[in-house]
Amino acid sequence: MSKELAKTYDPKGIEDRIYQNWLDKKYFHAEVDRSKKPFTIVMPPPNVTGQLHMGHALDNTMQDILIRYKRMQGYNALWQPGTDHAAIATEVKVIQKLKEQGIDKNDIGREEFLKHAWEWKEEYGGRIVNQLKKLGSSADWDRERFTMDEGCSKAVEEVFVKLYNKGYIYKGSRIINWCPVCKTSISDAEVEHVDQDGFFWHINYPIVGEEGRFVEIATTRPETLLGDTAVAVNPEDERYQDLVGKMLKLPLTDREIPVIADSYVDKEFGTGCVKITPAHDPNDFEVGKRHNLPEINIMNDDATINELGGKYAGMDRYEARKAMVADLDALGLLVKVVPHTHSVGTHDRCKTTVEPMIKPQWFVKMQEMAKPAIEALKKNELNFVPDRFDKIYLHWLENIRDWCISRQLWWGHRIPAYYCDECGEVVVAKEMPKVCPKCGCTHFKQDEDTLDTWFSSALWPFSTLGWPDKTEDFDYFYPTDVLVTGYDIIFFWVIRMVFSAIEQTGKVPFHHVLIHGLVRDSQGRKMSKSLGNGIDPLEIIDQYGADALRLTLITGNAPGNDMRFYMERVEASRNFANKVWNASRFIMMNLEKAEVPGEMPKDQLTAADKWILSKVNTLAKEVTENMDKYELGIAVQKVYDFIWEEFCDWYIEMVKPRLYNDGDTTKSAALWTLKTVLVNALKLLHPYMPFITEEIFCTLQSEEESIMISKWPEFTKEWHFAEDEAAVEMIKEAVRGIRNVRTGMNVPPSKKAKVFVVSESENVRNTFENGKVFFATLGSASEVTVQADRSGIDEDAVSAVLPEAVIYMPFAELVDIDKEIERLQKEEQRLTKELARVNGMLSNERFMSKAPESKVAEERAKLEKYSQMMDQVKERLTHLQAR
CA 532 to chain centre: 20
Q: 472-477 — which CB contacts under 8 Å span 24+ positions?
A: 472/32, 473/32, 476/32, 476/34, 476/38, 477/30, 477/32, 477/38, 477/40, 477/78, 477/80
**800/740 Cα distance (integer angstroms):** 8
Q: How far is CA 120 from the centre of its chain?
A: 29
Contact 452, 404 (CB under 8 A): yes
Smallest Cα–Cα separation from 60: which of 145, 135, 122, 116? Answer: 135
List of E strands, 207-320: 214-219, 230-233, 247-249, 256-261, 273-276
* DSSP 8-state class, residue 672: H
Please say whether the beta carbons of 767 and 730 come within 8 A.
Answer: yes
Cα 287-290-291 angle, rounded to 5 deg: 90
> Of 450, 509, 502, 454, whose CA–CA distance to 481 is shortest?
509
Rounded Cα gap, residues 704 and 697, in angstroms: 9
**For residue 221, how many C-alpha atoms fall within 13 Å in the half-sphere facing its CB?**
22
Contacts of 59 (CB under 8 A, 6+ apart): 44, 484, 485, 486, 516
Round to whole Å and give the CA distance between 310 and 298: 10
CA atoms of 810 and 816, how far apart (whole Å): 12
- Given a contact cutoff of 8 angstroms between Cβ atoms, the answer to whether 41 and 28 are in contact is no
HEC-encoded secondary structure of 29-92: CCCCCCCCCEEEEECCCCECCCCCCHHHHHHHHHHHHHHHHHHHCCCEEEEECEEECCHHHHHH
* DSSP-assigned beta bridge partners for residue 41: 79, 482
- CA dist 1 and 13 (Å) reads 22
At residue 563, what are phi and psi to the nearest 5 degrees? -130, 155
Beta pairing, strands 798-801 & 806-809:
antiparallel
Contact predicate 141/398, CB 8 Å: no
Euclidean distance between CA atoms 53 and 599, whole angstroms = 47
Question: Across-strand partners of 450?
Answer: 407, 414
Tell me how far CA of residue 440 lies from CA of 416, 419, 816, in angstroms.
Answer: 20, 13, 112
Cβ–Cβ < 8 Å for 509, 383:
no
Helix runs in 536-644, H state only = 537-544, 546-554, 567-592, 607-628, 632-641
**How many helices (H) and strands (E) in the chain?**
29, 29
* Residues found in the chain: 883
Cα gap 740→676, rounded to integer Å: 32
Taking the CB of residue 600, how many other CB atoms lie within 10 A of it? 16
Is there a binding annotation on residue 7? no
CA 741 distance to own-chain centroid: 44
DSSP assignment of 464-485, as one string? TTTTTS--HHHHHH-SEEEEEE
Cite the annotated binding site for ATP by residue number.
Answer: 529
Cite the annotated binding site by residue number.
Answer: 529
